[in-house]
């Protein structure tokens, strides 16, 4: 098909850690030769787009920060649009909290009666953080998660992601998040469509995760391609409620889908 836009997941699809996945460079070259617009969309809320630009460059992939959307981007954009004057408690790593404060949002402590609580991955998460989340949510503050990824792939293997911490907070608060803002949410879908300026039916979403990458594409009316270089194996695919348009061994097989 003549796709005019390609949405690429990052971890497990293009890179693992700071190393390009075999076939990734060939797939990116095919997109360039095809003349399609591209955008990289990650559910990592910690690194802002400029940091992703540098990280991908270390893997031998030239990308501009303007081509990158993260769950931190989506979360920040949503809060600025809907909660610009609210007090925000951020349970996450400094990279996420810095994005929120740099956007002009007021960050407060858990016991300062926040209006909004944002939860994302925090590799130093401990009991005191769970206690703070309980305090912050006690008086009915809105509860937002950055992304639903329970497991994320790294150079050292799969590790817990934001979704694991969000679930812990949801358990202590005895309530689900009011929204989770990264993939596959409508918030992230809207950012992608705004940046690509391409009709959904002319876009291909490529990723390794069924419940985020493939779900995003299906929900938005885009074609999807699952790559088997990340967290999804054949058994998981067979029992999933999400059926991708295409299944590829790696991003290197993308050339077969980009027909002139």
Q: Is residue 110, in this structure, part of any structural domain at all?
A: yes
Question: Could you report the per-residue pLDDT of 102-161, keeping only the tens digit for each?
Answer: 999 999 999 999 999 999 999 999 999 999 999 999 999 999 999 999 988 777 778 899
Which tokens is 37 given? 């617009």
Q: Is the pLDDT confidence value at 1 over 80?
A: no
Torsions phi, psi for 259 (to 5 deg): -90, 130
CA distances from 197 to 40, 99, 254 (A): 15, 25, 22
Number of domains in the chain: 2
What is the pLDDT at residue 158?
81
Torsions phi, psi for 93 (to 5 deg): -75, 160
Q: How many CB atoms lie within 10 A of CB 259?
A: 9
Which tokens is 184 given? 């596959």
Q: Do 35 and 82 share a structural domain?
A: no
Domain boundary among 134, 165, 180: 180
Residues annotated catalytic, as ranges: 9, 11
Q: Is the pLDDT confidence value at 260 over 80?
A: no
What is the average pLDDT across 233-254? 96
Q: Do 117 and 191 share a structural domain?
A: no
What is the pLDDT at residue 105?
98
Q: Do 189 and 94 share a structural domain?
A: no
DSSP string, 103-114: TT-EE--TTS--
Q: Is residue 140, in this structure, part of any structural domain at all?
A: yes
In the predicted model, what is the mean pLDDT of the chain?
Answer: 95
Q: Is residue 52, in this structure, part of any structural domain at all?
A: no
DSSP string, 58-81: HTT----GGGEEEHHHHHHHHHHH
Domain boundary among 125, 159, 180: 180
Q: Is the pLDDT confidence value at 21 over 80?
A: yes
Q: Return the minimum-mean-pLDDT range out of 38-42, 77-81, 151-155, 198-202.
A: 151-155
Question: Could you report the per-residue pLDDT of 166-217, keeping only the tens digit for each?
Answer: 999 999 999 999 999 999 999 999 999 999 999 999 999 999 999 999 999 9
Q: Is residue 192, in this structure, part of any structural domain at all?
A: yes
CATH number of the domain bearing residue 226: 3.40.50.1000
Domain span holding position 172: 72-180
Domain boundary among 162, 180, 198: 180
């Amino acid at each position: 098909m003549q796709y005019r836009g390609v949405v690429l997941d990052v971890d497990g699809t293009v890179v693992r850690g700071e190393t390009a996945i075999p076939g990734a460079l060939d797939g990116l070259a095919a997109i360039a030769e095809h003349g399609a617009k591209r955008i990289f969309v990650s559910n990592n809320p910690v690194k802002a787009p400029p940091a992703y630009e540098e990280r991908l460059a270390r893997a031998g992939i030239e990308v501009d920060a303007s081509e990158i959307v993260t769950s931190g981007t989506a979360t920040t954009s949503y809060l600025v649009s809907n909660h610009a004057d609210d007090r925000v408690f951020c349970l996450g790593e400094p990279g996420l909290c810095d994005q929120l404060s740099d956007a002009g949002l007021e960050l407060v402590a858990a016991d300062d009666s926040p209006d909004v609580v944002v939860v994302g991955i925090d590799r130093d998460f401990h009991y005191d953080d769970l206690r703070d989340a309980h305090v912050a949510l006690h008086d009915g503050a809105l509860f937002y998660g950055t992304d639903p990824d329970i497991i994320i792939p790294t150079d050292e293997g799969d590790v817990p992601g934001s979704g694991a911490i969000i679930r812990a907070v949801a358990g202590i608060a005895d309530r689900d998040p009011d929204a989770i803002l990264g993939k596959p949410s409508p918030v992230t879908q809207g950012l992608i469509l705004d940046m690509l300026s391409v009709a959904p039916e002319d876009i291909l979403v490529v990723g390794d995760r069924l419940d985020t990458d493939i779900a995003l594409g299906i929900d938005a009316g885009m074609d999807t391609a699952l790559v088997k270089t990340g967290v999804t194996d054949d058994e998981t695919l067979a029992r999933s409620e999400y059926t991708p348009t295409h299944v590829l061994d790696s991003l290197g097989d993308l050339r077969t889908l980009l027909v002139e």
